[in-house]
Structure 1
Amino acid sequence: MRNNLIFFICFLSIMLSGCWDVINIEDRGFIIGSAIDLEDGTDDKKPEFKVTNQMVIPAGITSPTHGGGGNQKAFLNFTSKGRSVYRIDEEISALSSKTPFYEHLALLIISEDVAKIEHVFSNLLDTYIRDVNMRRGIKVIVSKGDAKKLLDFQPQEDKLPAIHIDQLLEHSSKQVGFLKPRRVGDIEEYHLRQVSYILPLLSVDENIEHKAGAIFHGLQDKMVGTFNEDEMQGFELMKTAAIEKVIDFTYKDHIFTLEVNNSKNKISVDPSNIDEIKITVDINIDGIIKESFGKIDVSNPSELKAIQKAVSEKVKSSIDHTIKKGQDELGADVFGIWQILETKHYDVWKKVRNDWEKGEYYYRKATFEVNVKTDIYSIGTSDKTD
């Protein structure tokens, strides 16, 4: 009986003691965005970093009608320097009375200076992949200029810069057709397979601009260049179904705007001659003329046919330029031709894979043929003024 009583008391003590390592929610500092820059004057061989973490201040988010913080700032940015991201995060922990909590980290921003140093970006990303407190769904972007400036930017419509950028990325990819955001888990796959890829490239001035792409070479393991807005449009039309994309083009010295409601694309590869692999890109675009600046009757069938041809030529020119830059200047197969070879022509892929983006560089020897067909099925605007 005595032993049973002792056992019961011990058991009760354990059950009532609770979790010894629990942290109250009010003591947590919720980190929602991180930015990594190079320290000024750093050596590329032994780079030193500046890491900025954006921490939420709940009182600044709460509406004044609910007893909240009114004009109080909704976030704080903490910056520290060092050669190790893990060590820097430890130092940042000492700058706040809150315990940093990274499970809600939504955004990781890498400056282009960091991204251009060989092997550095993949090593930094490994820190975020291995940390059990961080999720693989963190969106990753590259900044033109200092990454910290994006976290410092205060938008008018949102209180939290990191959340504003996160929503901007989602909105832009769904509604405007810009590059779909890439996540930590996706990029890890690219690094493991040593394949080339594109990340969104953002810049900030009066507003945050999201119209360019940062090109990463898989084998070189670094950022090797950029696609501008026109080149990104060519890339998107070639690679993805562009919904609600807008194309500006010129016809008879007048500016027209086409809204793309649907596009279909097909890329086929003929590897019969590995020294000159032939790639055919077929694109079909359906759209509506939304705006025109000229006295042209776009409802006239012959005029409409000529306008459709003008759209096709504009899209083809954009894609041709993008392909040429990807091949000749950057040497990075961001178009995924390697994947078509691997899945549909594996015997050929085994022969060329070790020299696809290096050595014999079969990717640069490949030839592209781009065919574009445009159907304008509705005239949203017309000008018949004499």
Structure 2
Amino acid sequence: MVKRISHLFCTLISVLLLSGCWDMVNIEERGFIVAMAVDLAEENESAKGHHRLLLTSQIAVPPNLGTPSNSGAGGKGYMNLSASGESMYAIAQDIANQTNKIPFFEHVKLVVISEEVAAIPELFANVMDVLIRNRDTRRGIKVLIAKGKAKDILNIEPENEKLPTRYINKILDNSLTKTGEIRPVRVGDIHEYLLTGSSFVLAKISSGDKKLNFEGGSVYNGHAKKTTGSLNMDEMLGFDLIIGENVRGPIVFDFNDQLTVYSIRGANSKIKINDQNPQNLDITITIKLEGEIQETFGTVLLKEKGVIKGLERAITKKVEEITKKTIHKSQKDLETDIFGMENKLKKFHYDTWKELHNNWDHGENYFSKSNIHVNVTVKVRTDGVVDISKDKKVK
């Protein structure tokens, strides 16, 4: 009897092991969606007054992509499919019906949304809602705002890449780690911003025939639930310096009436709030930079006494100029807290935050009435491998 039960048990286990994956889909049958772009449709309102969207999905064609040692089959490495409608989910289903592949969203790297869509109250959040809820999409997807049509970004044809999304994604990764010129926001971060009603900045781009252009940033106002303005490239540098997250890139300034370039190698910032007068806060931003002189014009004697200190003073003045310009833009023009100062207020001065948060960067707008000061400390740690600049004999 025991032997029969043992045989029956082994048989059942074997059946389970032999059943395989019931939901398996062959890789050849998958449609790998790598990027999506969202625009307003030409007929941008339905009969019921709902906004109609145009969704463009970029689907990779693996046989045409090849490997690093093989350029592929020679055809396009992707196809862009579009459909329009009122519901993002329904539109995605329409796109699925245009191909013989089963849509697969786990490889989505980018979502590009047009300025028109982002400027309509709550529409940006509704578009993000689909990505946040979908269990197949990842929180690390980069979200960008397009100047002009978002779908045009997915039509860029770079000379060294067969897949536009891969080209754009590599540029964004390089920017995060090296140049610091553009800082994309990810779906997971946006989810947190939307839940808390916080304001934030989205990187803005435009398309050339064969390249990507950086256009600064679009400011999303958490209370208005839409984008309400933008920052140019200098103001974006000021924004990065103030929030102090992985700041990279050059500071270009004049020293002795000659162009000089300082490269940031390390940076941090701290925001301190004095809430003695809750309706007229004093906020101090302390920025510390370390870096090196990368380029000089003219005849600056870098090893001469006092030159390094003079350079540090000139860089300090330039950083103060850049950051104050960004602060003025956010307080007076945009009236939007893009620096996360409300979160600092909530964390360290909770009672004051309770008093002000309903009118922080809207209503009475205590953010705009706050006094914001900037203290900058700059260190030039190295001046390069020569001790005399151009037009002089190197010692």
Q: Same fold by TM (over 0.5)?
A: yes
SS at match of 1:133: coil
Residues 134 and 330 (structure 1), Cα distance of their counterparts in 2 relative to 1, 3 Å cut: same
Q: Does 1:163 align with 2:169?
A: no
Aligned position for 1:129: 132
> Which residue does the alignment assign to 1:35?
37
Match of 2:233 in 1: 229
Residue 313 of structure 1 deviates from its aligned partner by 0.9
- How is 1:98-113 mapped onto 2 (pairs within 5 angstroms)? 98-113=101-116
Contact 2:345 2:353 in 1 (8 A): yes
Shift of the 16–329 alpha-carbon distance from structure 1 to 2, 3 Å rule, reads same
Whether 2:124 is the aligned partner of 1:118: answer no
Distance 1:331 1:15, change over 3 A: same
Q: Which amino acid counterpart does residue 74 of structure 1 have in structure 2?
A: G
Shift in Å, 1:70: 3.1
Paired positions, count: 384
Written as runs of structure 1 = structure 2, the 5 A alignment for 1:281-320 is 281-320=285-324
* Residue 72 in structure 1 maps to residue 78 in structure 2: no
How far, CA to CA, are the matches of 2:350 and 2:15 in structure 1?
64
Counterpart CA distance in 2 for 1:154 and 1:383 is 41
Offset of residue 144 of structure 1: 1.1
Q: 1:181 aligned to 173, 179, 184, which one?
A: 184
* C-alpha contact 1:198 1:214 (8 A) present in aligned 2: yes
Residues 70 and 340 (structure 1), Cα distance of their counterparts in 2 relative to 1, 3 Å cut: same
* Distance change >3 Å, CA 340–CA 250, structure 1 → 2: same
Aligned letter for 1:27? E
Identity of aligned residues (%): 34
> Which shifted more, 197-206 or 41-50?
41-50
Residue 145 (structure 1) shift: 1.1
Which of the numbers 244, 253, 256 marks the counterpart of 1:252?
256
Q: 1:7 to 1:384 in 2, by over 3 A?
A: closer
Find the counterpart in structure 2 of residue 383 from structure 1: 389
Q: Is the 8 A contact 2:181 2:248 kept in 1?
A: no
Give the drift of 1:65: 6.7
CA contact (8 A) 1:254 1:293 kept: yes
Identify unmatched segments of 5+ residues in structure 1.
none
Contact 1:63/1:70, CA 8 A, preserved across alignment: no
In 1, Cα distance between equivalents of 2:146 and 2:177: 21
Q: Distance in 2 between matches of 1:15 and 1:291?
A: 66
In structure 2, do the counterparts of structure 1 residues 12 and 310 end up closer, same or farther at CA, with 3 Å as the change threshold? closer
1:222-263 Cα shifts (integer Å, max 9, x gaps):
111111110011111111155542111112321110111222
Distance 1:242 1:300 in 2: 32
SS at match of 2:121: coil
* 1:264–1:64 Cα change, 3 Å: closer
Give the alignment's TM-score, normalised by structure 1.
0.92
Instruction: Measure the CA separation in 2 of the matches of 1:288 and 1:69.
Output: 43
Residue equivalent to 2:273: 269
Distance 1:69 1:283, change over 3 A: closer
What residue identity is the alignment partner of 2:391?
A: T
Contact 1:178/1:211, CA 8 A, preserved across alignment: no
Paired AA for residue 100 in structure 1 = P
Compared with structure 1, are the counterparts of its residues 352 and 13 closer, same or farther at alpha carbon in structure 2 (3 Å cutoff)?
same
Query: Quick one: structure 1 residues 278 and 26, their matched pair in 2 at CA, closer, same or farther if it must change by over 3 Å?
Result: same
Note the C-alpha offset of 1:377.
2.7
Q: Secondary structure of the residue that 2:44 maps to in structure 1?
A: coil
Task: Report deviation, 1:108.
Answer: 0.9
4-13 or 349-358, which moves further after superposition?
4-13
CA distance 1:351–1:26, change in 2 (3 Å): same
Matching residue's letter, 2:255: Y
Partner deviation per Cα, 1:177-206 (whole Å, 9 max, x = no partner): 234332212111111100001111111225
**1:318-352 CA distance string (max 9 Å, x none):** 10010010111111111111111111111111111
Q: Name 1:200's counterpart in structure 2.
A: 203
Aligned to 1:367: 371
Q: Distance in 2 between matches of 1:64 and 1:326?
A: 45
2:43–2:52 Cα contact (<8 Å) kept? no
2-structure distance, mates of 1:149, 1:299: 51
**Alpha-carbon distance in 1 for matches of 2:17, 2:283:** 67
Aligned partner of 2:331 in structure 1 is 327
**Aligned with residue 354 of structure 1, among 358, 368, 380:** 358
Q: What code does the residue aligned with 2:128 have?
A: L
What does residue 92 of structure 1 align with? Answer: 95
Q: Is the 8 A contact 1:242 1:260 kept in 2?
A: no
Contact 2:175 2:181 in 1 (8 A): yes
- RMSD of aligned alpha carbons: 2.6
User: What is the deviation of 1:43?
Assistant: 4.2
The 1-side partners of 2:289 and 2:341 are apart by 22
Q: 1:266 to 1:153 in 2, by over 3 A?
A: same
Give me the whole-angstrom Cα distance separating, in 1, the residues matched to 2:245 and 2:152.
Answer: 33
Letter in 2 for 1:283: I
SS at structure 2 position matched to 1:48? strand
